[in-house]
Amino acid sequence: MGGHDRKCRRIWAVGQYGAFAISSVIFLIINIVISTIIQFGYQSYCLKVANRDNTMSYGDLFSSVRYLLKALGLILMVSLLTFLWALLLIVPGIIAAYRYSQAIIIMVEDPNKGIMQCIRESKEMMVGHKWEFFVLELSFILWQLLGLVTCGLAFIYVYPYMKVTFANYYNAIKPNTVVYEEATVIE
């Protein structure tokens, strides 16, 4: 009788661990999807603030739902490429993170672009600007420490300030694609 009882408990424990593992994976997937929607949406909102676009609204926070799979693919690909570079050494991984740092905002600005196109454009855009961007991020270190000291309360101000600053930086380094035509004046 004792052997059968032990076997039943073992099966029950395996079933519990299996249910826990499955529910953990489901919650992880839900977390990734929701955080991607919010991350891309907030980036869209901050880009509109930086561009002084009057069409900005809180609805922009959910504007990335229409290209969610592409956004998830971009996050996955950037993470994978950065991880592969980091396997070489830590420094190439950090450089890769800066190389691909503008890919998300490129997709936010034009969701019709492909995943690899956004990564390629970010890579081209950051040539000669990686150190500059590192220094820009470093300039926020005291603000971030203030956020930690205030138990996150200062992040209410600091995080939006940082994100809009990064959107302005993106606007400053992106190639100008607008071609101005000469206006002909008819007299």
pLDDT tens string 107-158: 999 999 999 999 999 999 999 999 999 999 999 999 999 999 999 899 998 9
The upper half-sphere exposure of residue 184, i.e. CA atoms within 13 Å in the direction of its Cβ, equals: 1
pTM recorded for the entire structure: 0.78
Type of residue numbered 176: N
Q: How far is CA 172 from CA 41, 125, 136, 166, 169, in A?
A: 21, 11, 13, 10, 5
For position 74, what pLDDT does the model report?
A: 94
In this prediction, residue 14 carries a pLDDT of 61
pLDDT for the residue 53: 85
For the chain, give every domain's residue range. 2-173
Provide mean pLDDT across the span 65-71.
Answer: 91
Rg (CA), the chain: 23
Tokens of 74: 């971009």
